[in-house]
Amino acid sequence: MILVLKFFGSTGVASGHPGVVKGLLGMEQTQRIGIIGGSGLGQHLLMPGDGKTVDIQTPFGPPAAPPILADWKGIPVAILARHGPGHIFNPTQIPYRANIYALKMLGCRWILASGAVGSLNENLHPRQLVLVDQAIDRTVHRVPTFFDHAAVHVDFAEPVCEKLRNIVYDSRSELTADAVVHPRGTYVCMEGPAFSTRAESRLHRSWGGDLIGMTLLPEAKLAREAEISYTSIALITDYDAWKPHAPGQAPMELMREIISHLQVASENALHLIRAALGRIWEARAEDFPSHRALELAIFSDKAKIKPESRQRLEAIWEKYFPATH
């Protein structure tokens, strides 16, 4: 089923019912948990035929793929393939702003994001999961903000929502004994799409980086600006370039090994997401710190912001403007 949405509206603030937010065009809509991952995530998380595809337009164009709206055991979710159908967008080309804005329009107040990474830490092994808690931004070609026409400075000392990260970490108890979930790690986000040189990989290790990847940023920054609670589940596939591979290992053999690591990590990540959804939904009436990220962040004189600029980002910041009659 395909639902077409071509409007821009305000998600506003939570209404009296803990499962409902004041939504698009002033209507009430269901709160949702957003899930961002690989192109096949929806197919793995949902049963065949579950959910409806949403053709949605944002002020930043369409998202990478039409989100899938579904109820997972009674919990409303919105699933988005970060790289688009068939993995067509490389990390620089991903429409990050459209992706996050679309999830905001659909009522998402939390985002569970997953992505493959290389390990920069001898103690973080392939097939294991890491709940990112810090980040180093090495991207240079991406727009990292929604606010092109205003001075808005969000607090980003903690790049993921600590409250949400802790909920996800506590959910690890429902995984099998061989599934390892690390509670924290520093993610170095590089531009790509080429992988690191060995010298770069060693440099990132010297900085205290634990993981190397290409998609955490600006995704996490935009989620913070949109007042969405965001956390990242990193799936380790290899040790990056700093650690030489086994002598004589053929490239195709190495590729099969990495794919195998990714498959195991992906399955464990899906189990972790499923386990976390119920715990997040139980806390849906609570106000997470990320849900108030713009309270002290808008430095511009609101009266000087052009009406068209204000309206363009209505879904994100409208509640911070004085009511007009």
Q: What is the DSSP string of 79-100?
A: EEETTTTTT-S-TTTS-HHHHH
E-strand stretches of 216-316: 229-238
Position 20 scores a pLDDT of 41
E-strand stretches of the chain: 2-5, 20-22, 28-30, 32-37, 52-56, 68-72, 75-81, 108-119, 129-131, 134-138, 181-182, 186-190, 211-213, 229-238
Strands 52-56 and 28-30: unpaired
287 flagged as catalytic: no
Does pLDDT of 122 surpass 90? yes
- The model's pLDDT over 34-90, given as tens digits with 9 standing for 90+, comes to 999 975 566 677 766 688 999 999 999 999 999 999 999 999 999 999 999 999 999
> Which entry of 133, 137, 210, 240 is annotated as an active-site residue?
240
Between CA 53 and CA 158 the distance in angstroms is: 33
CA of 11: how far to CAs of 29, 163, 294, in Å? 8, 22, 14
Query: How much is the average pLDDT of 103-131?
Result: 97
Position 6 scores a pLDDT of 43
Does pLDDT of 14 surpass 50? no
Cα torsion 140, 144, 149, 153 to 10°: value is -120
Token output for 143: 């727009």
> Which entry of 155, 170, 238, 301 is annotated as an active-site residue?
238
User: What whole-number percentage of the chain has pLDDT above 70?
Assistant: 88
Query: How much is the average pLDDT of 297-303?
Result: 97
Between CA 222 and CA 99 the distance in angstroms is: 10
240 flagged as catalytic: yes
pTM: predicted TM-score of the whole model, two decimal places: 0.91
Query: How much is the average pLDDT of 170-176?
Result: 95
- The model's pLDDT over 193-250, given as tens digits with 9 standing for 90+, comes to 999 999 999 999 999 999 999 999 999 999 999 999 999 999 999 999 999 888 888 9
CA of 282: how far to CAs of 49, 101, 210, 218, 265, in Å? 26, 24, 32, 29, 26
Position 30 scores a pLDDT of 84
- Residue with the bigger pLDDT between 201 and 17: it is 201
Residue 59: closest CA among 319, 258, 312, 323: 312
Q: How would residue 26 be classed by pLDDT, with cut points 50, 70 and 90?
A: very low
Between CA 12 and CA 229 the distance in angstroms is: 15
Domains and CATH numbers, the chain: 2-304 (3.40.50.1580)
